[in-house]
Amino acid sequence: MARKFFVGGNWKCNGTGDDVKKIVSMLNEAEVPPEDVVEVVVSPPYVFLPLVKSLLRSDFGVAAQNCWVRKGGAFTGEISAGMLVNLNIPWVILGHSERRLLLNESNEYWTWNIQLMFLFLQFVGDKVAYALSQGLKVIACVGETLEQRESGSTMAVVAAQTKSIAERVSNWDNIVLAYEPVWAIGTGKVATPAQAQEVHTELRKWLHDNIGPEVAASVRIIYGGSVNGKNCKELAGQPDVDGFLVGGASLKPEFIDINRDRISSPFGLTIR
């Protein structure tokens, strides 16, 4: 089954209004593969979502970088899935390692019981399920720390993270799974093509064994972690790397190069 290549650009907490306009202008003028070959989605900070949505070319999608686990309400500083839908934002990134590590989002979820004054961690699987129920498409992130990789527990970690989503989701049509080794995010270190392929292969096997062969064959598993114009071609050549979630490079002209390089990868224009 062919899987359309996917390139996401996570702008993180960067940019001013003028910066965003310049980036969008660069994207609008770029020559990239057609949308039936490569799906491109960019994710600006919340405050710039309407601006980017209004200015960006129609063949590129827009994603939020996070959303709240439930319906809106008394949750100061949060953005609900319904708000994103109201803004016509089709995608959201959930479970990014920076949120897992810095903001304590994890696989453990408990409810906030005001009477008992219990406040526990958000559960990424619940966030994915709720976002999907509201009509959003989800880039769901998984990945291990350096300590976990060195201890040989990479697959146990990413399998547990994927399981936390699978337990709450029955339809994977609108999910892109992003493998982002924490030790490679923003560090300049990159998983080798062989390392990325190994984890992607094992993730696809996990999907096959625990969800089913059709889901395993159709779900796109993309790689994130210091992807840039120099390393993207070799990574894209791996048979189970279905695209990228690009960080810092998505703010630069090389983001266009990353999209273009898909044309000349060893496996052609589409992923098997």
Pairing of strands 220-224, 175-179: parallel
Is residue 96 flagged as an active site residue?
yes
Closest CA to 156 of 167, 140, 145, 141: 145
First to last CA, the chain: 6
How far apart, in whole angstroms, are the C-alpha atoms of residue 111 and residue 120?
Answer: 7
Active-site residue, selected from the candidate residues 39, 96, 98, 105: 96
Residues 75, 68: contact at Cβ < 8 Å?
Answer: yes
Given the structure tokens 């994130």, which residue do they identify? 224
Residues 77, 56: contact at Cβ < 8 Å?
Answer: no
Is residue 200 flagged as an active site residue?
no
Active-site residue, selected from the candidate residues 105, 144, 180, 254: 180
How far apart, in whole angstroms, are the C-alpha atoms of residue 260 and residue 11?
Answer: 19
Angle CA(52)–CA(54)–CA(57) in degrees, nearest 5? Answer: 80
| Catalytic residue list | 96, 180
